[in-house]
Structure 1
Amino acid sequence: MTTLRQGLRCRLSLATLGATVFIAAGAALNVFAATEGEHQNGNSKHAPLLPAGMDTVVIARVGNLDITAEEFLLSYEFGPAFVKKHGKPVERYLDFMINEKLLALDGYALGFAKDQEVATMLTEIEGDLATEELYRDDILSQVVIDEKELVQAIDKERIHLELKWLFAAGRADLAKYLAQLSQGAPFDTLFQQQLNDSVQIGNRSLATTRFRLEDSNPEMAQVVDTLSYGKVSPPIAAPDGFYLVKVTNKWTNAIMTQTEHAELKQAVLRALRQRQADALSDRYVNDLMRNQNPIINRRTFNILRALVGKTVLSPEKYQDWNLTGKLMSEAGPLDSLDMERYRNQTLVRLQNDNLLLGDFWTWYQARRAYIRFDSDSPQRFFASLKQMVWRSVRDKLLIDRARQRGLQERLTVRRQKQWWEEKLVYARMKQEMLDAIRLTEEQAKHFYQQKLRQYRDQTGMTLPYEKVTDQVRQDCYAEALARNLFRAVNVLKNKYPVQVNRAALEALPIEAAPDLKAFDLITAKKGGTFPRPATPTIDFDWKLWE
């Protein structure tokens, strides 16, 4: 069975979570990297993306829960695409939102709002929302782009570049390429020799603009500035090896319409603001950490690495690395690896308030589904675990500062927190229904026989049950859950009153016609202190109702 946490993962990718706090400092506080000026009303100091007043317009009331125009528009914007292909997509989406609110009401009645996992996740989300306000107050408010900088950046964005490069993993390979080039070997010939099944042309070339290159790789941009057309650069050292770069094409977009220039100006301005905000947030987080002078307690860290290792490593690797044995030799005999025995031990000493092992464990458990440790070797595992500890310290310091200022009490935070609470309670109710489903092997095989056409290979041949057992059982559970949800929603519609403001719904600034070309995008909120979608949306599982 999936857990509540897994059910809310929403396909988020958290590849940056394992970066060190200082390398990832820009992302650490830059929680609105892609959505600067996000939906904000109430106490906000920044311009909103949504029309004013959307937070007060109620388009539906489900029992004592309101669906405002603001909540609906954001949910619809980031929600699954299948609804947008419906004949009446806006009305259909609202139907599914109402279904989730009805189930949430029943979850509240059962006390699921006080469920430990729901409460923990809601606390994490509230902290993340509060740090977004901190980012706006302390970072975005300091961003200023002058006209000269903007004009220079626009000029750079109009310069288009096409680059190719040779890659040398070590100095021996580099010396070989330099010798061949000096002897007259054509660059393009050496370039073609580097391509194979695993190295495509896109891995050794790039089409970009001077401004975007400066944004993504400042060092390479400086080198390219010194190159004339067709010349090969001196070796550029990088962590993975050396690069020999050649400018294969360079041209300037000299003719632009007024509309194109206005769009270009806005795009460049956003990028400049983001660049400056990233630099400011780097310094902000580094200063925050430095002022607290955090020091990891070695003995407690050794306990932690044994605890985490026991949960994420294979039994064979855990035994081979002898983590428990090393721990006992360094820390003295331990009766067990029971977390509760060490919860109150200091993991990181800080100037104001220490981080206890139990604090980290709570932080880790709330994010466990998203964290991947490097288990190639004991040393790499320990290093990646230490990075997670620093990450948790950073999160604690940011959230503590935001709470000390009372930012969690801002109207925009309280509104979004309420949306998330309702979503979490609904998800907990749904999990309860899923856990109640009992599936026998006979039922699964009967389902398989009825749905044989779903289980075919690329040639059209039916796959044997033994090869698709897991998929069949998953489909059985999904279909049974859909039936149970249908029955539950119909009962709840008689239990709780539902009122829809049709006039407000029709007045929403949204395209009401179906979009047959709509497709799903994986949207993730960059940075922040807690991995989550930017806003709650309806579940993709409602597609089974279509």
Structure 2
Amino acid sequence: MNFQSLTISMIFSSLVLLSSVSIKAEVQAPDTSRKLITFHSIDDPSLDTIIVAEVGKVKLTAKEFLLNYLFGPAFIFESKNPRHALLDAMVDESLFSIAARDSISDLGQETEKVAKAIEDDIATEQLYRKHIWDTLNVSESEIREAVNESMRSVNFRWIYSPDKSGIDSLSRQVSEVGFDSVYKKNDVDSSHFRSTDFFHLRITSPDIYTMDAFAREGDISEPVKGPDGYYIFKIDRLLYSPIITRSEYEKRSQEIKEELRQYKADVASDEYVDNMLKTAQPIIKRNAFNLLAGYIGSLYLSQNKFNDLGISKLLMTEAGPINASEVKRLGDLPLIVFKSGEVTLGQFLEWFDLRSFNFKFSQSNVNMFLRDVESYVWRMLRDQLLIRQAHHEDMYSKPVVRRQMERWKEKLSALAMINHLVSEINMDTSAVLSYCKKYFARYKITGDTLSDFRDRYDDIRRDYLDYAETERLLHVSILLSRKYPITKYYSVVDHLDLPNPGKGQPIEVEYFKTGGTFPRKAFPTIEQIWSKIIY
């Protein structure tokens, strides 16, 4: 998740005082006599007791190091010593987090909304684990059946139309000139192909899996209604590969067991949410919805498209038409009413503002646009119902939630500090020009004329920002390392039994869900920006 959009009001002048204190970082040398520190799971409790670095009063653990090593940015592996580079970056991020807490009086207020959204997501993830993931098992007979299905593969193509009249026309053409001719005539938006095995066909496209047309090569289906339109399929090839070695069988069995469990979890999760929505009996209030659609249209559509789709007609109140910019002052209007409460327009907009960078809306026609807006309204209600249930079942007090939130709050603090430092960089044209004059040879600028500078301005400005970011982050990192005591236990990270990059993944890692109530990366790993000062 990109947190650079955080707007933080901070005071950089306080950092100048850091240079008055000089405490050198204590670095422990590698100890070649130590044995490897082994573990079998990412959840091994011993990882929380092994300290890899101390920054001020903060202790960084082997668990945090392992998560960064496995799921963090890849730039550390470009270093001659990736483990040391990673530890250095973790310490830098911790320094910035501590400095932010010490120097920003309103830090909690500024990061509160994002922190709350992350906490909600972690708590509902525990709800998911309790009611879905931990209740599921995959039997040996299910695995055997799925392995046998995976030995049968199919290649097929299809022709698509979004409406019934279109697919009927295509069906008549298939009868007259054959499927292949019709397929070739259609563009890439309406002609498609796929190659898969029957196990994956079953769990990804169950409606297609059960079709009679998939019994013989060369068969062509009748028009089939799908969730987004109509299809005609042709089976090009069926292949059965019954011969497999024992090691391949065991490997495939384990992979399929994991996929089956995830598939069953996805089905159970959908049913859980559907039942929750049915119990809530929600109703979208049309007036508030229209205002919301008008407001979103003003953000995502060009003025021409906004006018072409007639979105302005939606911005209507009892007092008459309003501008999209006025919608937020109507935040008390109910947007959704349901059995045990309501969601106001203002509550939705607060939810929306935190996630809007991740949303997309169709611009093909007004109905498709409104459909997308409505889908996000239902998603927001789903999130709110899950959050309510997580509170009801006291998921927020679970130790795993508290531990994860401590680390996320540290990360948000560090990102707030980075955001402030970057926002204070002087981006005036005069500053960019000064940088250009200093490195003019790089841009092949000749003479005294500014025409070359204007022609290359965007490239020069981008390079200047990168240079200024690096310079400022490095400078502040040095100042902070003089203020706060640091101990890096390189000997500990050197003896952690970690997989080699690119050599597979021998450590057991469980994944629970790909979605959630807030878009974020799975773990609060270090940011790519630290590559600027590590090298």
Give the TM-score normalised by the residue count of structure 2. 0.81
Cα distance in 1, alignment partners of residues 269 and 237 from structure 2: 36
Cross-structure match for 1:333: 320
Cross-structure match for 1:532: 520
Q: Deviations over 1:492-539 (max 9, x none)?
A: 111111122334322323146899xxxxxxx99721000111112222
How big is the shift at 1:413? 1.2
Cross-structure match for 2:147: 154
Q: Deviations over 1:285-311 (max 9, x none)?
A: 011111111112223223323333333
Change (3 A) 1:372 1:420: same
Cα distance in 1, alignment partners of residues 180 and 330 from structure 2: 61
Q: SS of 2:526's equivalent?
A: coil
Whether the aligned pair in 1 keeps the contact of 2:157 and 2:236 (CA below 8 Å) is: yes
Whether the aligned pair in 2 keeps the contact of 1:96 and 1:542 (CA below 8 Å) is: yes
Cα distance in 2, alignment partners of residues 384 and 64 from structure 1: 48
Cα distance in 2, alignment partners of residues 264 and 513 from structure 1: 23
User: Which stretch of the first structure deviates more once superposed, 55-64 or 121-130?
Assistant: 55-64
Q: How is 1:7-156 mapped onto 2 (pairs within 5 angstroms)? A: 49-111=42-104, 114-156=107-149
State the AA in 2 paired with 1:243: I
Q: Deviations over 1:83-135 (max 9, x none)?
A: 11211001101101111110111111123673544110000000000010000
Whether the aligned pair in 2 keeps the contact of 1:134 and 1:407 (CA below 8 Å) is: yes
Residue 236 of structure 2 is aligned to residue 247 of structure 1: yes
Change (3 A) 1:232 1:301: closer
Q: SS of 1:347's equivalent?
A: strand
Cross-structure match for 1:269: 257
Cross-structure match for 1:476: 464
Whether the aligned pair in 2 keeps the contact of 1:166 and 1:194 (CA below 8 Å) is: no
Whether the aligned pair in 2 keeps the contact of 1:85 and 1:514 (CA below 8 Å) is: no
How big is the shift at 1:425? 0.8
Cα distance in 2, alignment partners of residues 194 and 511 from structure 1: 51
Q: Deviations over 1:191-232 (max 9, x none)?
A: 5x3487x579xx633222111111221222223675223444
Cα distance in 2, alignment partners of residues 113 and 54 from structure 1: 33
Change (3 A) 1:364 1:454: farther
Cα distance in 1, alignment partners of residues 297 and 234 from structure 2: 43
Change (3 A) 1:540 1:112: farther
Whether the aligned pair in 1 keeps the contact of 2:129 and 2:512 (CA below 8 Å) is: no
How big is the shift at 1:418? 1.4
State the AA in 1 paired with 2:520: R
How big is the shift at 1:343? 2.3
Cα distance in 2, alignment partners of residues 376 and 350 from structure 1: 32
How big is the shift at 1:188? 5.5
Q: How is 1:442-461 mapped onto 2 (pairs within 5 angstroms)? A: 442-448=430-436
Cross-structure match for 1:172: 169
Which of 404, 408, 416 is the aligned partner of 1:428? 416
Whether the aligned pair in 1 keeps the contact of 2:149 and 2:198 (CA below 8 Å) is: yes
Whether the aligned pair in 1 keeps the contact of 2:173 and 2:182 (CA below 8 Å) is: no
Q: SS of 1:4's equivalent?
A: coil
Whether the aligned pair in 2 keeps the contact of 1:101 and 1:426 (CA below 8 Å) is: yes
Cα distance in 2, alignment partners of residues 325 and 233 from structure 1: 44
Residue 198 of structure 2 is aligned to residue 210 of structure 1: yes
Cross-structure match for 2:334: 346
Unaligned runs of 5+ in 2: 9-38, 445-450, 504-510
Whether the aligned pair in 2 keeps the contact of 1:102 and 1:493 (CA below 8 Å) is: yes
How big is the shift at 1:415? 1.4
How big is the shift at 1:467? 4.9
Cα distance in 2, alignment partners of residues 525 and 452 from structure 1: 51
Cα distance in 2, alignment partners of residues 156 and 423 from structure 1: 45
User: Which stretch of the first structure deviates more once superposed, 346-355 or 481-490?
Assistant: 346-355
Cα distance in 1, alignment partners of residues 499 and 5 from structure 2: 33
Residue 280 of structure 2 is aligned to residue 283 of structure 1: no
State the AA in 1 paired with 2:173: K
How big is the shift at 1:356? 1.6
State the AA in 2 paired with 1:208: T
How big is the shift at 1:541? 2.2
How big is the shift at 1:284? 0.5
Cα distance in 2, alignment partners of residues 113 and 145 from structure 1: 50
Q: SS of 2:341's equivalent?
A: coil
Cα distance in 2, alignment partners of residues 237 and 263 from structure 1: 37
Residue 389 of structure 2 is aligned to residue 392 of structure 1: no
Cα distance in 1, alignment partners of residues 455 and 148 from structure 2: 59
Q: SS of 1:161's equivalent?
A: strand
Unaligned runs of 5+ in 1: 9-40, 42-46, 182-186, 457-462, 516-522
Cα distance in 1, alignment partners of residues 7 and 244 from structure 2: 48
Cα distance in 2, alignment partners of residues 230 and 221 from structure 1: 16
Q: How is 1:228-247 mapped onto 2 (pairs within 5 angstroms)? A: 228-238=216-226, 239-247=228-236
How many residues matched? 484
Whether the aligned pair in 1 keeps the contact of 2:152 and 2:197 (CA below 8 Å) is: yes
Change (3 A) 1:223 1:427: same
Whether the aligned pair in 2 keeps the contact of 1:5 and 1:369 (CA below 8 Å) is: no
How big is the shift at 1:469? 2.6
Give the TM-score normalised by the residue count of structure 1. 0.80
Whether the aligned pair in 2 keeps the contact of 1:343 and 1:356 (CA below 8 Å) is: yes
State the AA in 2 paired with 1:65: V
Q: Deviations over 1:455-497 (max 9, x none)?
A: 79xxxxxx95445433322221121111111111111111111
Cross-structure match for 1:184: none
Cα distance in 2, alignment partners of residues 228 and 512 from structure 1: 46
User: Which stretch of the first structure deviates more once superposed, 390-399 or 309-318?
Assistant: 309-318
Change (3 A) 1:56 1:240: same
Whether the aligned pair in 1 keeps the contact of 2:153 and 2:195 (CA below 8 Å) is: yes
Which of 278, 296, 300 is the aligned partner of 2:288? 300
Q: Deviations over 1:319-364 (max 9, x none)?
A: 5666556543x52337775455322222211211211222111101
Q: SS of 1:432's equivalent?
A: helix
User: Which stretch of the first structure deviates more once superposed, 394-403 or 152-161?
Assistant: 152-161
Cα distance in 1, alignment partners of residues 490 and 354 from structure 2: 40
Q: Deviations over 1:64-87 (max 9, x none)?
A: 222111112112212221211211
How big is the shift at 1:150? 1.9
State the AA in 2 paired with 1:331: E
Cα distance in 1, alignment partners of residues 263 and 502 from structure 2: 37
State the AA in 1 paired with 2:177: Q
Change (3 A) 1:370 1:326: closer
Cross-structure match for 1:34: none
State the AA in 2 paired with 1:427: L
Cα distance in 2, alignment partners of residues 427 and 356 from structure 1: 31
Which of 342, 350, 358 is the aligned partner of 1:362? 350
Whether the aligned pair in 2 keeps the contact of 1:232 and 1:246 (CA below 8 Å) is: yes
State the AA in 2 paired with 1:95: D
Q: SS of 2:75's equivalent?
A: helix
Whether the aligned pair in 1 keeps the contact of 2:150 and 2:198 (CA below 8 Å) is: yes
Q: SS of 2:127's equivalent?
A: helix
Whether the aligned pair in 2 keeps the contact of 1:227 and 1:233 (CA below 8 Å) is: no
User: Which stretch of the first structure deviates more once superposed, 319-328 or 347-356?
Assistant: 319-328
Which of 379, 391, 395 is the aligned partner of 1:407? 395
Q: SS of 1:5's equivalent?
A: coil
How big is the shift at 1:449? 5.9
